[in-house]
A and B are shown apart, each in its own frame.
Chain A
Amino acid sequence: MKNRSNILSHSFFALLVIAPFAAGIIYALLYSFGFIGELNQEFTLQHWKNVLQSAEIFKSFFFSIYIGITSLLISVSIAFLFVMKRKINSSGWMSYFFYLPLAIPAMVAAFFTFQFLSGAGFLSRIFFQLHISNGIDDFPDLVNDTFGIGIIITHVMLALPFFILLFRNYYQSEKLETLKELSLTLGSTSSQFNLKILIPVLLNKTFAPLALYFIFILGSYEIPLLLGQQSPQMISVLVNRKLSRYNLLDIPQGYVIAILYTLLVMLLLYFFIKSKDKSHVQQA
């Protein structure tokens, strides 16, 4: 019975976890090297050359990495401030409000940001009534802008409660309050405790979820789709645009970008799993 269940588990794992990923990558590779596809006739490296020489694609990768790092840095820094000031209640009705943004899907969060920060948005209306701005055109571009401000703000809005709760959990489990009292008794200042104990301990303990969150932001789709601009686009938006265009010459390039993105994620995942193993060894 157990053997049968084991064989079934192996088969399902191969069929539902490994096969889809492998099949997708094989198809993308074959398409990108010209073996399959409408306009492809024989093996070619042309699509890879086109992509690797394209400034648009490099810009897209750098833009995605920039959005990922900036969103993460801002949300982690604010979450640290919350934990340092201990402005969160672990229980009681107040704590429910910290969870609220976790209930918002990316699509809705992007829609909210657009309604709140666009030229005709809620903030612009308040600025107009307060005579700070003269109307829609006078309000700064905070969505669909060059620096991805709207995208970053939305990611921070979604990530912030997650990091606050994550850090708070580790603050309690690592007994940092006791450590703080001890360090203050031994003559250190609050800022010394924060810089030399609190931040290093929390960063070390939460490195794995932070890395995972960075990978998620890198591949985010709905938020840059609604709040991004035509160029540069984040990787997911660019790949989907290339693959769903009527220009058949764009399709192999879309698959090349998808493979490059997958390689980048696999590399990040390798470091993530390594760091996880290291922290398991440390705990043991």
Chain B
Amino acid sequence: MFSKLNWVSRFVRVVIFSLPILLLLLLSFSLQWRFPDVLPDTFSLGNWKALLQNQNGMMVSFEISIFISIIVAFTSTALGFIMSRMIAFHSKKNLLIAFAYLPFVLSPVIFASVLNFYFISADLSGNIFGVMLAQLFITLPFALLLFVDYWDLKLKSLEDLVSTLGGNSQQSLFKVIIPISKNLLLLCFFQTFLISWFEYGLTSVIGVGKIQTLTVKVFQFISEANPYYAAVSSCLLILPPLFLLFINKKYLFNTLK
């Protein structure tokens, strides 16, 4: 009896936690879903076919989002790793950390709004490089905060050991420090990828609607009252994080200490 109840309670919890994805999938496979029907009138692959045929530019948005997120994640991870070493051993470490927190915790849309003038002046508004640079302003501080506590005396001793044994700084970085830090580097890459992938406010302000990432596309479909295409785009948005969840749960859950 208890075991049966346990299974029912488990099933209920599974349904509750996966409800958003189930409803989005249902919407994405329907062509018409009128009130008060609990299920759609017809199920169809039409919306997904439209995606593959790049109707409404959904596939292009997917590719733009992937491109932006990969570049932003790679740049912020690489720069963050190198720069965090400087912060970790700096005499004013706490002050630098406080500075790093500011752009990261500010509302991205407000941050973008006060920076918009400079982006327009530099001809970076409505431009993919402008969007990537703006996103870097929030992903880089995140990478710095993630890496800063990683640099400790043990790691510094390793660098000193390489130097004592005749290795130079480049050898120490590429042959010792990066190989032993690859797990954290991967974690940072995926986390910054997701920040960029999920980003809407900043992208819509700096991209002025011209850079149509998937989040911008979802909003556009919602504004056009097209919930079916919005659901397909939403499913695409969820795909990379689900993939990360599948390969390693910790890529999705991380708290800055």
Using CB atoms and an 8 Å cutoff, list the residues of chain A in contact with chain B: 1-2, 5-6, 8-10, 12-13, 16-18, 20-21, 23-25, 27-28, 87, 94-109, 111-112, 114-116, 120, 122, 124-126, 128-129, 135-136, 157, 161-162, 165-166, 208-209, 212, 215-216, 218-222, 226, 235-236, 239-240, 243, 254-255, 258, 261-262, 265-266, 269, 272-273, 277
Q: Is B70 an interface residue (CB 8 A)?
A: no
Q: Which residue of B lies closest to A96 (CB)?
A: B245
Residue-wise interface mask of B (91-105) relative to A, using a CB-CB cutoff of 8 A (1 in contact, 0 not)? 000101111111101
Residues of B within 8 A of A212 (CB): 105, 256
| Contact indicator B218/A221 (Cβ below 8 Å) | no
* Alpha-carbon distance A157/B13, docked complex (angstroms): 13
A99-B102 contact in complex given A135-B36, A236-B107, A261-B107, C-beta closer than 8 Å: no
| Contact indicator B114/A111 (Cβ below 8 Å) | no
Q: Which residue of A lies closest to B136 (CB)?
A: A16
| Contact indicator A107/B13 (Cβ below 8 Å) | no
Residues of B within 8 A of A102 (CB): 241, 245, 252-253
Could you say which of B24, B27, B98, B115 contacts A23, with CB atoms under 8 Å apart? B115
| Contact indicator B13/A269 (Cβ below 8 Å) | no
| Contact indicator B238/A104 (Cβ below 8 Å) | yes
Q: Which residue of A lies closest to B241 (CB)?
A: A103
| Contact indicator B230/A269 (Cβ below 8 Å) | no
| Contact indicator A125/B20 (Cβ below 8 Å) | no
Q: Is B108 an interface residue (CB 8 A)?
A: yes
Could you say which of A2, A101, A106 contacts B200, with CB atoms under 8 Å apart? A106
| Contact indicator B215/A107 (Cβ below 8 Å) | yes
Could you say which of A115, A136, A219, A261 contacts B27, with CB atoms under 8 Å apart? A115
Which DSSP category, helix, strand, loop or mixed, fits chain B's interface?
A: helix
Interchain Cβ contacts under 8 Å between A and B, 5 examples = A25-B114, A27-B118, A102-B241, A219-B107, A240-B109
| A-contacting 9-mer, from B45-53, B54-62, B79-87 | B79-87
| Contact indicator A128/B215 (Cβ below 8 Å) | no
* Alpha-carbon distance A12/B81, docked complex (angstroms): 12
Which DSSP category, helix, strand, loop or mixed, fits chain A's interface?
A: helix
A17-B238 contact in complex given A9-B85, A129-B36, A255-B114, C-beta closer than 8 Å: no
| Contact indicator A240/B137 (Cβ below 8 Å) | no
* Alpha-carbon distance A106/B101, docked complex (angstroms): 21
Residues of A within 8 A of B200 (CB): 105-107, 221-222
* Alpha-carbon distance A95/B14, docked complex (angstroms): 9
Q: Is B222 an interface residue (CB 8 A)?
A: yes
Could you say which of B86, B113, B198, B249 contacts A13, with CB atoms under 8 Å apart? B86
Residues of A within 8 A of B94 (CB): 273, 277
* Alpha-carbon distance A258/B109, docked complex (angstroms): 10
* Alpha-carbon distance A166/B250, docked complex (angstroms): 12
Q: Which residue of B lies closest to A105 (CB)?
A: B198
Residues of A within 8 A of B205 (CB): 240
Q: Which residue of B lies closest to A87 (CB)?
A: B13
A262-B249 contact in complex given A111-B234, A112-B20, C-beta closer than 8 Å: no
| Contact indicator A9/B215 (Cβ below 8 Å) | no
Q: Is B180 an interface residue (CB 8 A)?
A: no
Could you say which of A23, A209, A220, A243 contacts B107, with CB atoms under 8 Å apart? A220
| Contact indicator B198/A219 (Cβ below 8 Å) | no
Residues of B within 8 A of A106 (CB): 198, 200
Taking each of A23, A255, A258, A272, which has the highest tally of chain B beta carbons within 10 Å of its own beta carbon?
Answer: A258
Could you say which of B21, B23, B35 contacts A120, with CB atoms under 8 Å apart? B35
Q: Is B17 an interface residue (CB 8 A)?
A: yes
Residues of A within 8 A of B198 (CB): 105-107
Could you say which of A96, A208, A218, A266 contacts B249, with CB atoms under 8 Å apart? A96
| Contact indicator A2/B79 (Cβ below 8 Å) | no
Residues of A within 8 A of B27 (CB): 115
- Can you add 12 more A-B contacts, CB < 8 Å, to A212-B105, A221-B109? A96-B249, A105-B197, A108-B234, A109-B20, A126-B38, A136-B35, A157-B20, A209-B255, A216-B105, A219-B108, A239-B109, A266-B102
Shortest CB-to-CB span from A123 to chain B, Å, is 10
| Contact indicator B105/A226 (Cβ below 8 Å) | no
